[in-house]
């Protein structure tokens, strides 16, 4: 590497002239020589490659999402066509079976003291939840729920029972509506809730 200032011949990898201390690697116009120019090209090439990779990945990701959405749309349109050709009753069954079922409240009853109450419950898969809190110092406090189909449940307190809230539940399935009797004795409060799985 020849020093532009003093003309001294230095080693090829020298950064400064060993004779005059001038920085080496610049030509007369002040720009870096070819070795630094090559590094600029390498960096530029890397940037271009990264941009191309990002574009390709984005294209494939977008293409896959579009094709899966298209498959779902075509599957649902095929299902709709087959349902309509096989009759409206099958369509109704398919739609009802595709819905997510859950327990939905169909009635809630509450009160206090002593007495009874009769309620009508529709057909289906039914869950009955009940809870009560007794009046103190009584040996036969209770809350009983019994249906015309034989389904029943309840909570009781004895003479040595703790005075506390008690809760329970039961389920049954019926193809017709049922009548339930709620019987309660010496309660501070009670609550009975009916749910249907639909």
Torsion angle defined by CA atoms of residues 28, 30, 36 and 40, in that order, rounded to the nearest 10 degrees? -130
Q: Give strand ranges (E) for 55-165.
A: 103-121, 124-134, 142-147, 152-156
pLDDT of residue 23: 87
Mean pLDDT of 52-72: 73
Contacts of 21 by beta carbon, 8 Å cutoff, 6+ apart: none
The CATH number of the structural domain formed by 103-197 is 2.60.120.40
pLDDT of residue 191: 96
* Residue 60, strand partner residues: none
pLDDT of residue 32: 46
Mean pLDDT of the chain: 81
pLDDT over 80 at 42, yes or no: yes
Residue 158 pLDDT class (50, 70, 90 cuts) = confident
Report the candidate in 187, 186, 147, 188 with the shortest Cα–Cα distance to residue 170.
Answer: 147
Looking at per-residue pLDDT, the higher value among 32 and 11 belongs to: 11
**The overall pTM is greater than 0.85:** no
Q: Give strand ranges (E) for the chain.
A: 103-121, 124-134, 142-147, 152-156, 166-174, 178-197
Contacts of 134 by beta carbon, 8 Å cutoff, 6+ apart: 141, 157, 161, 163, 186, 187, 188
Measured between alpha carbons, how far is 116 from 106 in angstroms, rounded to an integer? Answer: 20
Residue 73 pLDDT class (50, 70, 90 cuts) = very low
Q: How many helices (H) and strands (E) does the chain have?
A: 2, 6
Domain boundaries, the chain: 103-197
């Amino acid at each position: 590497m020849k020093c532009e200032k003093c003309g001294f011949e230095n080693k090829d990898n020298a950064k400064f002239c060993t004779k005059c201390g001038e920085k080496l690697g610049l030509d007369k116009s002040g720009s870096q020589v070819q070795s630094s120019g090559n590094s600029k090209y390498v960096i530029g090439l890397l940037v271009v490659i990264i941009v191309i990779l990002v574009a390709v990945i984005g294209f494939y990701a977008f293409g896959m999402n579009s094709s899966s959405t298209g498959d779902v749309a075509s599957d649902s349109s095929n299902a709709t066509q087959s349902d309509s050709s096989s009759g409206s009753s099958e369509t109704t069954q398919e739609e009802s079976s595709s819905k997510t079922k859950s327990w939905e409240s169909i009635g809630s009853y509450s009160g206090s003291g002593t007495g009874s109450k009769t309620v009508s419950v529709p057909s289906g898969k039914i869950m009955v939840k009940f809870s009560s809190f007794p009046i103190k110092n009584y040996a036969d406090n209770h809350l009983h729920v019994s249906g015309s189909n034989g389904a029943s449940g309840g909570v009781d307190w004895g003479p040595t029972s703790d005075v506390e809230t008690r809760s329970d539940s039961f389920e049954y399935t019926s193809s017709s509506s049922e009548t339930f009797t709620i019987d309660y004795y010496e309660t501070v409060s009670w609550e009975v809730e009916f749910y249907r799985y639909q």
